[in-house]
Amino acid sequence: MSASTEFAPGLTLQNLATPQKLSDYKLIAFDMDSTLITIECIDEIADVTGKKAEVAAITEAAMRGEITDYKDSLRQRMALLQGVPMASIERVLQERLTLTPGAKTLVDAAHAAGLKVLLVSGGFTYFADHVKSLLGIDFVRANQFEVKDGQLTGGLIDQSWGDICDGEEKRSTVLGLASLMGIEPEQVIAVGDGSNDLPMMRAVGLSVAFHAKPRVRAEAKVAINTGGLDRLLEVLG
């Protein structure tokens, strides 16, 4: 299809040849915050400490693409969270983190069709590892916040690949894993909602915007605007 087409209510396709099957692909990569889960973890950490307005404003600007340096935006937000106790972060995980409707259905369907599943996030391993265990995800890449004396220092820990998983790191992770698996980028699906997901979405065979910012919806081959993540199965039967 050369133009945007309403495939079903709340489900838009553009430049996508149909029909396709999930088993045509070998890897599916998901963003985490506001994609696999319903919250933005860093905003919720800020909320329990009374700083949500300041942090959420930076998050929203970054996701819309108004702040073009994701690394800088994350460092700004982390600095505002210096001194937050780990007990508050545990509260967010236990009380506020909720899987997006359809997430488990889609991940299970992907596994059943022979795909590997990657969670690649500009968020934190503290939450990503929990989501990995809930959904049986195969691979995770995310940021690791620094903790000292039971509190956030406001910094991030260097990992073998770097310190911050931004849009370019998401792209590099997806393409690197595809190479290790011996598959082509065209055999990969990438699902996200924000501007920092665009680099990986542009690099793969099928890009999926989930309840996404307008800029992301405009570029994606599939846009899920209503309902859960499992609506992708309406396109990839």
Q: CA distances (Å), 200 to each of 7, 89, 110, 197, 220, in order? A: 24, 29, 19, 6, 11
Could you give the count of Cα atoms lying within 13 Å of 184 in the half-sphere of its Cβ? 5
pLDDT of residue 3: 65
pLDDT of residue 220: 97
Active site residue 33: yes
d(CA 109, CA 22): 8
Domains and CATH numbers, the chain: 5-39+99-235 (3.40.50.1000)
d(CA 46, CA 60): 14
Q: For 82-106, what is each residue's pLDDT tens digit?
A: 999 999 999 999 999 999 999 999 9
**Residue position matching structure tokens 């300041």:** 54
d(CA 127, CA 43): 13
| Candidates 24, 31, 129, 158; catalytic one | 31
User: pLDDT under 70 in the chain at which residues?
Assistant: 1-3, 17-18
State pTM to two decimals. 0.94
| Candidates 24, 33, 163, 230; catalytic one | 33
d(CA 199, CA 185): 13
47 contacts: CB under 8 Å, gap ≥ 6: none
pLDDT of residue 2: 44
Residue 168 near residue 175 (C-beta atoms within 8 A): no
Residue 14 near residue 221 (C-beta atoms within 8 A): yes
d(CA 44, CA 51): 9
